Amino acid sequence: MRLAAPLTVLAVVAALLGGCGSSDETSSSRPIDKGSPAFEVRSAWERTPDCKHPRGASRWGCPVGPYRCQGVVTDHGWSISCAKPGRSIAFIVHPR
């Protein structure tokens, strides 16, 4: 019984360090390659009227195809995270 608590803590730490489940995530500070899924999502995000930054908002969200995207204002532009089951994509957009 005394061993149960430390084993539980060890299992929780291992899950946090190793991650639970799986995700195919794309995030990079480099330019996105044309034709890649990240490029397609970013292009669709830029064309979608619902994804335009609302004046004065620090956060907003919009659908892009099967993805649900959230934008957040940062010091470097807008940080955009888009996700659908099993996949996520993140990118930075510099306001024009």
- 27 three-state secondary structure: strand
What the block records as the tokens of 24 is: 């195919």
Which residue would you say has higher pLDDT here, 23 or 66? 66
Instruction: Evaluate whether residue 88 is within a structural domain.
Output: yes
User: Measuring CA to CA, how many Å separate 80 from each of 2, 32, 66?
Assistant: 46, 13, 15
Instruction: Evaluate whether residue 11 is within a structural domain.
Output: no
pLDDT tens-digit map of 22-60:
445 444 455 677 778 889 999 999 999 999 999 999 999
**pLDDT exceeds cutoff 80 at 17:** no
Instruction: Evaluate whether residue 5 is within a structural domain.
Output: no
Instruction: Evaluate whether residue 8 is within a structural domain.
Output: no
**How many domains would you assign to the chain?**
1
pTM, entire model? 0.65
